[in-house]
Amino acid sequence: MAPRTPAARGSSISNHLIENQLRGNSKMASRSQIPDHLPWDPTCNQFPTLKQLPKLPNAPEGAAWVWGSDDQLGRLNLLTPERVKASAAEIRTGELIRLDLPLDVPKKPAFERETFIHNIKTLTKDVVFDDTYALNTQSGTQWDGFRHFAHIPTKSFYNGATSKDIIGEAANHKCSIHHWAVHGVAGRGVLLDYRHYAQTHNKSYDPYTTHAITLSELQACGKLQGLDLRPESQGGDIRVGDFLLIRSGFIQRYGELSPEDRYTAATRSHGDLGFAGVSRDADMREWLHDSYFAGVMGDSPTFEAWPVPEGDFLHMSLLALWGCPIGEMWDLETLAVRCRELGKWTFFLTSAPANMPGGVGSHANATAIL
């Protein structure tokens, strides 16, 4: 890789980076972020582990609010122009695969969310028509924004936002989804087809029931696909700023159920809802943190295994503490088939979140380009 110098960031470039530049040591491999040099510089390629996070004043334990006091992007800061440009090299065939379900799928969302409503409005009879939508942005293929889930013990959202920033007389745009839209969301995606791995290794489960996907299973899945799931800085294939996509089989199972069974499954009480998703074990948390993904996505309604015992939500860590976007109910079926045919599990990914000031979440509007 040719030597590259970080873009000028004024006083935000930490002293050790300036010293490295003066020595002519500007290769990406040499740029390691020192934990307590704030704000962090996203052009580094090595970042502190979960155990190395600095203790921040007025922040919960384990908070990675490190990109600046006014930061609204969290791990999306890692989508630097340099990384986005490098990710474009993943495009080989130019095939476009949409990763959103139709807006009206699922027909009945879980968690008592509103059903999508589409009406056609006549402006001029037989000549001009409009659409009108009524939707909950969390009803189908979605991004969970930073306003979606707080750190429960402190009721703090990412980077210190509170409910008063979201609703009420003092409501503002702190942690609004529109910041993602203005910045842009694009980079390298990495798909782990756990469903295929499980089915070919006699691991039977129903995605509509609680099934925790462990890190060791993801590593075995990655090995089957020819991927080393260690961070690149440790000799693996995961790059800083990658998007992680995990296929658990929810969309496949949804397609197999009758409309009646889908409705019954979606209207279960909160205590009876169960979905496959990643585990909350310590090693999984450390891997998700230390890999420095720009976002994590799955095809289930919850990304993490559901229900969550004793309030130990992975959502709390990803969204509120680390500022890592979560995508749910992404349609990974066609993508998984094509990646298997090509023998290539990385691709260019782009998403256009809603440019809605004050918004909590958004449909993904996502495409993989192979």
Q: Which of 37-41, 74-78, 199-203, 267-271 has the lowest mean pLDDT?
A: 267-271
Please give the C-alpha separations between residue 250 and each of 255, 256, 369, in angstroms, as whole numbers.
9, 10, 23
- pLDDT-derived band at 30 (thresholds 50, 70, 90) equals low
Q: Which residue has the higher pLDDT, 11 or 111?
A: 111
- Answer yes or no: CATH 3.20.20.70 is held by domain 97-101+135-369: no
Please give the C-alpha separations between residue 306 and each of 63, 83, 143, 175, 275, in angstroms, as whole numbers.
24, 33, 18, 26, 5
**C-alpha of 46 from chain center:** 20
Residue 282's SS3 state is helix
Q: Which of 11-25, 130-144, 240-254 has the lowest mean pLDDT?
A: 11-25
Q: What does the block give as tokens for 365?
A: 């509007």
What gap in Å lies between CA 278 and CA 265, rounded to an integer? Answer: 20
What gap in Å lies between CA 350 and CA 186, rounded to an integer? Answer: 4
pLDDT tens digits, one per residue of 166-188:
999 999 999 999 999 999 999 99
Q: Which residue has the higher pLDDT, 8 or 334?
A: 334
Of 75, 143, 44, residue with least CA distance to 354: 143
Of 194, 201, 290, residue with least CA distance to 246: 194
**C-alpha of 178 from chain center:** 16
Q: Which residue has the higher pLDDT, 22 or 147?
A: 147
Contacts 24+ apart (CB under 8 A), 4-7: 4/28, 4/82, 6/31, 6/41, 6/43, 7/43, 7/80, 7/81
Residue 130's SS3 state is strand
Q: Over 80: is that where the pLDDT of 197 sits?
A: yes
Please, which residues bridge with residue 324 across strands? none
Instruction: Please state, rounded to an integer, the average pLDDT across all residues of the chain.
Output: 92
Q: pLDDT at position 8, please? A: 38
What gap in Å lies between CA 288 and CA 325, rounded to an integer? Answer: 12
What gap in Å lies between CA 339 and CA 351, rounded to an integer? Answer: 19
CB 331 within 8 A of CB 299: yes
Per-domain residue ranges of the chain:
1-69, 97-101+135-369
pTM for the model stands at 0.91
Residue with tokens 């999306």: 76
